[in-house]
Structure 1
Amino acid sequence: MKKLLLTLMFVNCLNIYAQNPVQEFNFNGNLNSADNTISFLGTAAFVNDRMGAAKGALRLTNKAFQAVVGDLPQGNKPRTISVWVKFNAVTAPHHIWGYGTAVSSQYFGLSQQASAGSNSDLSLIGWETANNATISVPLAKEVWYHYSVTYDGNISKIYRNGELLKTVEGIPRLTKGYILTIGKMNTTTSINADIDDLKLYSVAMTDEQVLESYNSSKPSNMPKTAPAPAPSNEKTVTAALVKTAAPAKAPAPVTTAITATPDTNNYTKNVEVFSQGKQIMGANASNIDDLPEGTYLLKITKKAAKK
């Protein structure tokens, strides 16, 4: 029990730390960072953000901005960069953000290419094709998208609206440079989009943390992305919809024993219910109707039946 509690406390601390950006730019009528220590350079035009707030997002029309950011991870250090983007045209490339040197593996940037039909290539740029990670995705103009890129020192991941789109392993990221640019890749400017809430992290966020970042910052009219399916050796169950707004009852901790079926050996099963990595201490796994709406993980273990 003590080991379990310590593990949960450690994971919880990591989650809290991981979701605190080292720098963020909200673009709420200015180009300053949230702590007012850094500013992008240039004359800005501000428009409504994804929530509809006036002058809450930065508009870039074939124009780039740059800032010197000392917190940008260098070399192969872990990182996460997220941003909200609304494309006002899809017929030309959009260099969303980037930093580093125009040398093989020393650049780190995100670009959404011109649409071909209804799809467009989304690329994590590492300079030189072999260092890029690219995935073709549907693209529509005047729609807000949440992009996140993570790198843990070996594995690179690209997400959109909390959904993992691409994973690549073994591509080197030896980034060198402290000038963060939006709207430009190295010396090439190309973008026609609105940018909001650019956040930089010094850790590689997990799939769950990226999903939570999207769901907690999306407009209320956007669909909530569900968690990715659990691995095949785990079982998930979606609880029945709760008909009232009253919270679920919390009886004493229960571990449900389920008798094995006749064609199995003589044993019982312990069923434990978890939500977001934490055990639902008062939930009875045999009565799904008692659980609030959500996605749960069932942990099932065997033990010998009493004779």
Structure 2
Amino acid sequence: MWRERRRQPPPQLRLLVAAAMVVVVGALASAAEAALQVGFYQDKCPIAEDVVLEEMRLILMEDATLAPSLLRMHYHDCFVQGCDGSIMLRSRKGKTTERDALPNRSIRGFDAIERIKARLETVCPLIVSCADIIAVAARDAVYLSHGPWYDVETGRRDGNVTVAEYVENDLPPPDSNIVDVKTFFSVKSLNSKDIAVLFGCHSIGTSHCGPIQKRLYNFTGNMDQDPSLSPAYAAELKKLCPPPRPGAGDEGGGEGKTKVPMDPGSNYTFDLSYYRHVLATGGLFQSDASLLDDPVTRDYVEKVAKALSPDEYYADFAVAMVKMGRTDVLVGDLGEIRPTCGIFVD
């Protein structure tokens, strides 16, 4: 696991071979499940999760907009080489890391994770991994956004293999169709229900205009609009996001500083309204709308959108998050525990 990986083929080719990898990944997930456990730090650092929650309360009191970004950080960390904290590592001479890959440039909260890590280092030095801090902070971000509390399995160790190009290969882009989304998720042993559940993370947070401009102005290359968008919602989005300027870049995932809510009217409250929004409008991203193109994911969206209580969805969310958190983890004697999450240990 610690040998440098070969340069991977382009995403198109990787999608063709992904199905063949599912059996292998499933075996790895079973091993991770056996190694991770709730309360892993009970003996060596029993206050670890209390410290994370205390710091998260303070962090989100100072800036509530960090909650969705910290949740997104956990997802991006897990999908690229597993939940190993490697997303935190800063680039250094001759080595561009995941952190500086284009899809990760709009992620905020790296300083928040370092703040939590520094606090833990004062009470339990070299005990709690950055990978576990990210996982627990994601849970707390959901909980402090009025979402569910769930037990997080811990025991991950930190990875130090990080390559920027893997990020765009391993993360489904916002304009993915349902076939591509299912393929990317299946490689991580996540099924159609997991997809529908985890997309509920879009209940909180915002996007820049870049990822949706094609959907609004040039969906098929004929200067057209994505027909899955409701006309009224598309008109609202166009007010926020004008046509892209010729030659404009896409720094950090969007042109300009305009913020577009992923769940309008409820973008900092973790609730069921995201599913109602997708069903009524087609959602913000093409990948959101793609949930309606598969019978399993569509049925789930419709069920949650009509639910009178969030309890069943919250229980499903807990299961899916724990499952995602087992992805390609380093446990036991693998990996390391870094004193600072963003700095390589030479």
Report the TM-score range of the alignment, normalised by the length of the smaller protein: under 0.3
Q: Which has the higher strand share?
A: 1
Q: Which has the higher contact order (CA 8 A, sep 6+)?
A: 2
TM-score calculated relative to the size of structure 2: 0.21
Larger Rg: 1
